[in-house]
Amino acid sequence: MFYLIPGLGADERVFRNILPLLHGPAQVLHWLTPAPDETLPQYVARMAEAIPTAQPCLLVGVSFGGVVALEICRIRPLARAILVSSVPDASCLPPLLRLIRGSRAYRLFPPQWLKLFPRAGQWYFGVKEKEYPLFKEILRDMEPRYTRWAIHRLLHWDSTNVGRGIQILGTHDRVFPPGPTPVDYLIRGGGHFMIISHAQEIADILNRLAVEETEVMKQ
């Protein structure tokens, strides 16, 4: 069973290319509206209600969705986190995001500003021209309250004792660029939006991991 978690501010549309390629049942977990001052563990506990406690599954999280996938695995021990265009722990946040966190610039510039500069976002997220209309739609539909909450939770993520996830990262990802930490699967030419542009390569990896997981459960 695949559970798919989109990136920050995104929705099920980012999985439109990969869903038909997955071998097995798949369900997209939709973002919930955060309560005022809700912590990440509290929020994750609500999202995890959609996953039966005794069900082995692969949690495929894109970007911030990977952080949520790792947190869900804390309370769903039979789940395995697959991190697509994401980071395995808070120490892997790149210098730019650490600078934004330290300067608190994210408090000064509301996320809806991205809607005013979609071409800058296209470059930063590595969105190809044919994917640009979808990217603009996702920007247009971003919910400010959730986006502000999620950015804060990402920048201040406490990943202490978080379990290990399988990381799938693109060589051209500007948001979470490959660093000194080994990556399980490196997608050549993949940017931060590679869940769309490199769906076949990612699906092949996910299907192999699902087979491996099934074999392990049989032992």
The predicted-structure confidence for 152-201, as pLDDT tens digits, reads as follows 899 999 999 999 999 999 999 999 999 888 999 999 999 999 999 999 99
* Per-domain residue ranges of the chain: 2-218
Q: 73 with 17: CB under 8 angstroms? A: no
Q: Please provide the average confidence, as pLDDT, over all residues in the chain.
A: 90
pLDDT tier for residue 143 given thresholds of 50, 70 and 90: confident
pLDDT band at 131 (very low <50, low <70, confident <90, very high): very high
Residues of the chain above pLDDT 70, percent: 92
pLDDT at residue 109 tops 60: no
Which pLDDT band holds residue 30 (cuts at 50, 70, 90)?
A: very high
Annotate the chain with DSSP letters as a single string: -EEEE--TT--GGGGTTTGGG-SS-EEEPPPPPPPTT--HHHHHHHHGGGS-TT--EEEEEETHHHHHHHHHHHH-TTEEEEEES--SSGGG--HHHHHHHHHTHHHHS-GGGGGG-HHHHHHHHT--GGGHHHHHHHHHT--HHHHHHHHHHHHT---TTPPP-EEEEETT-SSS---SS--SEEETT--TTHHHHTHHHHHHHHHHHHHHHHHHHH-
Rounded CA gap, 135 and 164, in Å?
A: 30
Paired tokens of 189: 């030419």
pTM for the full predicted model: 0.92
**Beta bridge mates, 3:** 27, 59
Q: What is the largest CA-CA distance in the chain?
A: 53
Whether the pLDDT of residue 106 is over 70: the answer is: no
**pLDDT of the residue at 105:** 59
Residue 116 reports pLDDT greater than 70: no
**DSSP string for 160-184:** TTPPP-EEEEETT-SSS---SS--S
Q: Which CATH number fits domain 2-218: 1.10.1040.10, 3.80.30.20, 3.40.50.1820, 3.90.950.20?
A: 3.40.50.1820
